[in-house]
Amino acid sequence: MVNRIGMLLERYDIYNQWVSIAISIMIIILICIIVQKITKYIILNIIQKIVNKTDNVFDEILYEKKVFHNISHIAPAIIIYIFSNSFESREIIQSIVYAYILLILTLTLFKILDSIQQIYRTKEFSKSRPIKGIIQVIKIIICVFAVVFIVAIFTSDSAAWAMLSGLGGMSAIIILIFRDSILGLVAGIQLSTNNLLKIGDWIEMHQFGADGEVVDISLTNITVENWDKTLVNVPAYKFIDESFKNWRGMTDAGGRRIKRAIHIDINTIRFLDDKLYDHLMEVDILKDYLTSKQCDINTYNKSCNMVNNVNGRKLTNIGSFRAYVIEYLKRNPNIHNDFTLLVRQLAPTDTGLPIEIYCFTNDTAWANYEGIMADIFDHLFAIISEFDLKVYQNPSGSDFVRLAK
């Protein structure tokens, strides 16, 4: 009977102990919640007042990134540490508190780094010198040290040092795992140092289906937004291993090239007769050319037997057309006169004689460029008949119907 009463009392004591422990834990949790709310309220109010008073952008970004929100989470950990002496397993609780504080500090450092990156992006030179890859490398290093310190907290210092020394022995595996990151870091340094690539550049890398604007440069990938709004991620090291076309030079120079040919029907090329000559003399921008050229031809022909046209020189409709196009382009306000301007004859083909226009517009915007080029060729196609020339065109169904009639 006495033994049974003793067992009941022992069980009752154990039950009371567990109840008291549960009540203590609940009280501590309640205190932690209250302290965290109070700390967060005080810190955020103070910081918000400071942010509103200063003109500094950095503190505003820190506030937006919730850096100070993270700091308020340390207060509950301190409360748990203070009350840990009330429990038998205080060493384990304190170790958990240390690891928790270290985790909070690591996340806070990450948000500070993100804030630095966001501030850096507001600078104009950030497009040519992006630091996102460097920030990512710093985060990886912080993570490695945080893991080592957490291991040291729960084990011993010798275990942490053994872990660090083991990383050296596992270097081959580490290099294999972080291969893209290491290659990307090296490639990023080379691209930035040589100013080969920056955010906003229009690049072409057809082997990866990239033809558009660079929108992001990270440690491992470079993101390109194609003109059809699709996104392509290209490994950063591929920009060192393989070739790509960067159109930044065009934008910086302020001129975009037009290189397009009009194919002339060779059967319509002939000498100018008096009627066509007089007709072309009515064209204002051709008067000086025709007068000067005719004067030179007359001087040359004085020493020639002009019974046959082969013996001398004469104006041609194709030559007059080329002269007209040159003058027309020179007077066009949308054409860059400081760059190369050519109207040249290419080798004849089975589609006629190509007359190539080679010049540069002074507006590099895609839509404006296409509009300028279209206006030029609209005009040339419309006036080419004035020179008694025809544009070559492969026969179509309507042509065969007309021949059949």
pLDDT one-digit tens code per residue, 173-226:
666 766 777 777 778 777 776 778 888 888 999 888 899 999 888 777 889 999
Describe the crossing of helices 132-154 and 179-193 by its angle, rounded to 10 degrees.
140
Could you tell me which residues come within 8 angstroms of residue 266 by beta carbon, excluding any fewer than 6 positions away? 348, 352, 353, 392
The predicted pLDDT at position 382 comes to: 94
Smallest CA-to-CA distance from 34 within 69, 70, 76, 66 is with: 76
Confidence of residue 345 (pLDDT cuts 50, 70, 90): very high
The listed range with the strongest mean pLDDT (42-51, 92-101, 230-239, 328-337) is: 328-337
> Rounded CA gap, 369 and 362, in Å?
9
Question: What 3-state DSSP class applies to 358?
Answer: strand
Confidence of residue 353 (pLDDT cuts 50, 70, 90): very high
Could you tell me which residues come within 8 angstroms of residue 252 by beta carbon, excluding any fewer than 6 positions away? none
Percent of the chain with pLDDT over 70: 75
- Written as one letter, the residue type at 321 is F
CA torsion sign for 391, 397, 400, 404 is: negative
Q: Are 386 and 279 in contact (CB under 8 A)?
A: yes
Query: What's this model's pTM, rounded to 2 decimal places?
Result: 0.60
Confidence of residue 2 (pLDDT cuts 50, 70, 90): very low
